[in-house]
Copies of this chain bind each other. A is one copy, B any other.
Amino acid sequence: MSTPPPPPPRKRVTAAMVAERAGTSIAAVSLVVNGKHRGRISDENAERVRAAVRELGYVVDSTASALARGTSDVVVLLAPDLPNPFFGRVINAVQETLGERFQLLLFASPTGAQPTVADVRRLAALRPAGLLVSAPTVEFLDDAPAGVPLVLLDAPGLEDRAPAVNYDLASGVRALIAHLAERGHRVIGYLDGSTPAATYELRRTLLQAEAERRGMTLLTTPRVRSRPDIAEAMAAAEASLPAWRAAGATAVIAASDTLAHGVLAACARAGLRVPEDIAVAGFDDLPASAVTAPALTSVALPGDLLGSVAARLLVSLIDGGEAPEPAELPAALVVRASTG
């Protein structure tokens, strides 16, 4: 009887084992698996290394590689609002764009808060290959680790601090206010995000300026805010609807669709018909916004575009490329039933 083949050794495969099998040095293995062997290793030896890699199932140990090179293959995505469905598409696009070369590490500070200095230090200790930071504040950028390629997502006004990928919020806001003006709305309630980010600041100020320009009023005092959570947004809207209505508001804009979903829920509970009694609009154009009751008018902020463009930019920075002109992503108004 023939003995069964010995079980594959449970030991982890190292470059030394590959080198021994291929009859080369460890250095040769490193050069070949990293594709740096042109003109340094004979074709024959390179092929032997490749064969040994295949046979043994060798994969470079990323911790050792990171230590030797001084940087890892990890790209960190920092986002204050991770649980927001908006980020699903961003994350997905980032991941697909990064491909097999980088690993995506998520970092979300406790909802809404900005990362602390200690957080930033711990991130830097990972020796990330690059950082993607969504909706940052200026304060965060002051603490950002030096020497790490950095791309900002949806960080209007911070373009001078780092390469940024932003939406053309001004166009979207103009279209939204024009649309509401045309429908005869003069006073508009506003539900703001509670995340302290430049993009929310800008959304509010743009809306306000554009409304004023047309002789309309955006109600921002008192400031009504909520984290990106439907239940919390509903509570905030429910508490504010009487005051908004008393001030003559016939429409409510929310800083994001998730917040707008909360407004819709609050209107339903208050027995208000949308859009007859009150119109509602948001930002993001989440997939679910096409099926809400009623379907939601929204300034579409394509998250997949944001993720893919930012990731592509980051990779080019990591590879030593120059930061190209920051491109603005479209922010188009999608009109649906919630604004009649």
Seen from chain A, the residues whose Cβ lies within 8 Å of a Cβ on chain B are 10, 57, 59-64, 66-67, 72, 74, 82-85, 87-89, 91-92, 95-96, 100, 103-108, 110-111, 121-122, 124-127, 146-147, 229-231, 258, 261, 264-265, 268, 286-288, 290-295
Contacts and interface: CB of A to CB of B under 8 A. Distances in A.
Contact of A122 (B63, B100, B286): B100
B288 A292 contact: yes
Nearest to A84: B88
A111 B95 CA distance: 11
A62 B60 CA distance: 17
Given A59-B124, A106-B91, A287 B229 contact: yes
B96 A92 contact: no
Given A287-B230, A291-B292, A291-B293, A67 B59 contact: no
Given A82-B91, A91-B83, A122-B59, A261 B105 contact: no
Given A10-B146, A91-B106, A265 B293 contact: no
Contacts of A268: 291
A270 to B, nearest CB: 14
A291 B230 contact: yes
A107 B105 CA distance: 9
B104 A105 contact: yes
Contacts of A107: 103-104
A226 B165 CA distance: 32
Nearest to A126: B62
A74 to B, nearest CB: 7
Given A63-B63, A293-B292, A92 B82 contact: yes
Contacts of A59: 121-122, 124-125
Nearest to A127: B63
Contacts of A96: 110
Given A63-B67, A67-B67, 10 more contacts: A59-B121, A60-B125, A63-B72, A85-B88, A87-B88, A91-B106, A100-B122, A103-B105, A258-B287, A268-B291
Contacts of A287: 229-231, 258, 261
Contacts of A288: 85, 230, 261, 286, 288, 292
A62 to B, nearest CB: 5
A198 to B, nearest CB: 23
A145 B107 CA distance: 25
A320 to B, nearest CB: 19
21 contacts: A59-B121, A59-B124, A62-B127, A63-B63, A63-B127, A82-B92, A85-B85, A91-B106, A92-B108, A95-B108, A96-B110, A103-B107, A104-B106, A105-B106, A230-B290, A258-B287, A261-B287, A261-B291, A264-B291, A268-B291, A288-B292
Please indicate which of the listed interface residues A67, A146, A295 has the most CB atoms of chain B within 10 Å of its own CB.
A67
Contacts of A106: 91, 95, 104-106
